[in-house]
Amino acid sequence: MLKELIDGIFWDIALIVFLAGIVWNLLAVFTRGIKKDLAVPRGSGLVGAVMTNVRRFYPHHEIAPRIRFQVVSGYLFHVGLLVLLFFARPHVEFVKDISGVGWTPVPDWIFNLAYEIAFAGLLLLLLYRLLSPVTRLISRTDSYVGSILVLLVMFSGCLAMLESFEGLRLFHRFMVELLMIYFPFSSLMHAFLFIPSRGYSGAMFGRRGVDI
């Protein structure tokens, strides 16, 4: 019964909420809009928007030494997570089952490596959040809930992969469904909204002729 719920209606609800929530968030930002900039531009806003999206993947060298811990941990987590999400064998098979589209998954040793660096990155970030006076002050409930949910998803996924029995697979899927429902209503939306966020700033500075 639980299997039918988790593989069935819960998945459908989670998917609808996830996709509708992302679209709703993006529409909310773009329909709210911004006023047209009437100042005579010095450069291109479009180029600024695109280039800032690219440039913000690496920090300015002036600030890099001060934020090395956050940047390295952040990349460990995000790169590891991307490998797990898109190239773990069960995920590739899952997508092929529902869509017919498949690609080559990573071998198990890469899966293990990706899991370890993603887990290490997330734990380091959580540790930093708990220990730094700055992040302790500015973090909110959402900052911790999102991180813990992702941690549970990754942990349960790794266990399911290693032990490979149905109960663990269902637990992992259920954690994923909870995350998908939580996602659009949380700061996890930065996964999509970082693009317009960087873009708006990049466009403004691009018009002023400043590379940011």
Partner 1 sequence: MSTALERGVETLKGQIDGRVMSYFSSCVSCGICAEACLFYTETGDPRYTPIYKTEPLRKVWRQNYTFWGKLTRSLGLSKPMTEADLADWEVLVYDGCTMCGRCTMVCPVGIDIAYLIRKVKEGMAAAGFVPDDLLKAGERALEFGSPMGLTAKSLRSAVTAQEKEIGMTIPVDVEGAEYLCMLSANEVVAFSEYIGSLAKIFAAAGISWTLSSEYFEATNTGIQIGDSGIAAELIGRAVAVAEKLKVKTLISPECGHAYTTIRWDAPNILGRPLPFKVMQIMEVLDQLRAEGKLKTTGSFNERLTYHDPCNISRRGGVLKQPRDLLNLVAPNFVEMRDHGSMNWCCGGGGGVSSNERADPLRLKVFDVKKRQLDELDVTTMVTACSNCRNMLDDGLEANDMDIEVIGITELVASHLAER
Q: Which residues bind to partner 1, rule: CB under 8 A?
A: 25, 28-35, 37-40, 42-43, 52-53, 56, 59-60, 62-63, 66-67, 70, 74, 129, 132-140, 142-143, 184-185, 187, 189-190, 193-194, 196-202, 204-205, 208-212
Nearer to partner 1, 3 or 66 (CB): 66
Nearer to partner 1, 2 or 63 (CB): 63
Nearer to partner 1, 105 or 196 (CB): 196
Write down the least CB distance from residue 63 to partner 1, Å: 5
Nearer to partner 1, 120 or 193 (CB): 193
Residue 95 CA to residue 103 CA, distance in Å, equals 9
Report the amino acid identity of residue 141: T
Q: Spell out the alpha helix ranges (H) of the chain.
A: 2-7, 9-32, 45-55, 68-87, 89-99, 108-131, 133-138, 141-163, 166-182, 190-208
Write down the least CB distance from residue 175 to partner 1, Å: 20
Q: Is 100 left (phi over 0), alpha (psi -120 to 50) or beta?
A: left
Write down the least CB distance from residue 201 to partner 1, Å: 4
Write down the least CB distance from residue 73 to partner 1, Å: 10
Q: Which residue has the tokens 């800032």?
A: 52
Nearer to partner 1, 112 or 135 (CB): 135
Q: In angstroms, what is the C-alpha Rg of the chain?
A: 20
Write down the least CB distance from residue 15 to partner 1, Å: 18
With beta carbons less than 8 A apart as the criterion, state whether 21 and 178 touch. no
The DSSP symbol for 103 reads -
